[in-house]
Amino acid sequence: MKAIVLFVLLSFGICFGQAQDAGQPASTNVPNVAYPSIHPDLRIDFRIKAPQAQSVQIQVGAAPKLDMVKAADGYWTVTTPPVVPGFHYYFVTIDGFTGADPASYSFYGVGQDSSGIEVPEKGVNFYLVQDVPHGEVREHWYRSKTTGDWRRCFVYTPPGYGTNSQQRFPVLYLQHGAGEDETGWVRQGHANFILDNLLAAGKAKPMIIVMDNGYAVKAGSPPPDNTPAPFGSPLMRQRMFTMTAAFADVMISDVIPMIDSTYRTIPDRDYRAMAGLSMGGMQTFEVTLNHLDTFSYIGGFSGAGTGFIFGNHAFDSKTAYNGAFSDPAAFANKVHLLYLGIGTDEPERMHTGLVALHQALNQAGVTHVFYESPGTAHEWQTWRRDLSDFAPRLFVAGSK
């Protein structure tokens, strides 16, 4: 006999249910809900009750929308082709209106609260909670002199931080991408579990991780212009440069002094790193390469220089970032790690751009690490792998 669990979303008039012959419920489902469910071959079953609807569609990530089929009982069903392992946003479209699925937990992504589904990768658990000592993630509010308002960051402290009041720690500042916020690296990326597992295996140094909000407008400035702008357009570039300039001031003038005065850090550039994904990678390069007196470890995951993200691959090692790369030997002596990560299945513009930067750095003689995540696109599985490869290289002698 089928056990049916129904949830009603009044604004849509939708009900969600489960059937015994489905795959395993996704770990990202709300409690006691069977759909969406995932088969061993990574096909996903979706089942939605919307008896008054004329059309229901499901879209997982950037894949095309799939039309669902309506049964006599009012349930709409569809099974996707196999999905690449990892975390994916997904969307329900009912009679032209697209929204989140109340059967799934919501995650802030693509500029809104969105449904998310975790598709397991067989035999892989480096980003999952395990039976190891765990650090803590703290929600830290602070008043920004740069923006004139209250801001929030999340701070990971490693296992044992609270038991040894004398030990001090290096810091990694870790940034999210566009359309996401400071919750992303914990909720979608599982950065805390990645570090817990690395530390338990003896593969990384204990460190504090600070995850701040990457959006900033200087106090007294007009609110940002949010009119739609094509990707890579002059308007979009100007917005990103303006926001990044304000965010750099937040990082240098507000966040780092606040973290150093609040937590047991080692307040020295040799023990300070910054990395980010996509937009956060671009921000990382802008902040660190213009403040090499503050950072000595630099990481860009699917993101680095703005021009490379937008398809402009021109690179002059003598002038870029105020000449940071002009003397490769001096750069290598000062920067302990310069890291570039990219997924092999990223959008062509981004993959080509990051490979071009990698090749340009090689040609200029700039020492760096280049890592490609096999089979992943512009998605959290790429960035989880990047962090897992990046973190063990931090704060150790000969990290290059």
The H or E element that residue 184 is part of is helix 184-187
Closest by CA to 207, choosing from 258, 163, 170, 162, is: 170
Edge to edge, the sheet with strand 171-175 lists: 136-143, 150-157, 208-212, 171-175, 272-277, 297-301, 337-343, 369-373
Closest by CA to 231, choosing from 378, 32, 358, is: 378
Rounded CA-CA distance 307/311 in Å is: 6
Q: Cis ω on the peptide bond leading into residue 36 (within 30° of 0)?
A: yes
Closest by CA to 284, choosing from 321, 258, 312, is: 321
Percent helix, strand and coil across the chain, each to the nearest 5: 25, 25, 50
Task: Dump the DSSP string for 320-379.
Answer: HHHHTTSSHHHHHHH-SEEEEEEETTS-HHHHHHHHHHHHHHHHHT---EEEEETT--SS
For Cα atoms 104, 110, 114, give the angle at the middle one, nearest 5 degrees: 15
Rounded CA-CA distance 26/119 in Å is: 7
Closest by CA to 294, choosing from 244, 335, 259, 339, is: 335
Residues in CB range of 261: below 8 A, 6 or more apart:
none
CA distances from 10 to 13, 105, 175 (A): 5, 17, 36
- Looking at residue 6, what is its pLDDT? 32
296 three-state secondary structure: coil
- Looking at residue 238, what is its pLDDT? 67
State both tokens at 261: 């005065």
Rounded CA-CA distance 333/370 in Å is: 19
Crossing angle between the packed helical segments 234-249 and 279-289, to the nearest 10 degrees: 50
Residues in CB range of 64: below 8 A, 6 or more apart:
none
Rounded CA-CA distance 371/389 in Å is: 8
Each residue's pLDDT tens digit, 200-252: 999 999 999 999 999 998 998 887 666 655 656 666 666 666 778 899 999 99
- Looking at residue 7, what is its pLDDT? 33
Crossing angle between the packed helical segments 191-200 and 380-390, to the nearest 10 degrees: 30
Closest by CA to 34, choosing from 128, 101, 131, is: 101
The H or E element that residue 52 is part of is none
Rounded CA-CA distance 385/388 in Å is: 5
List, for the chain, all residue ranges whose pLDDT scores fall below the cut of 70: 1-22, 224-241, 305-314, 397-400
Rounded CA-CA distance 324/372 in Å is: 25
CB contact at 8 A, 376 and 389: no
For Cα atoms 351, 357, 361, give the angle at the middle one, nearest 5 degrees: 145
Give me the domains of the chain, ranges plus CATH numbers: 7-119 (2.60.40.10), 136-393 (3.40.50.1820)
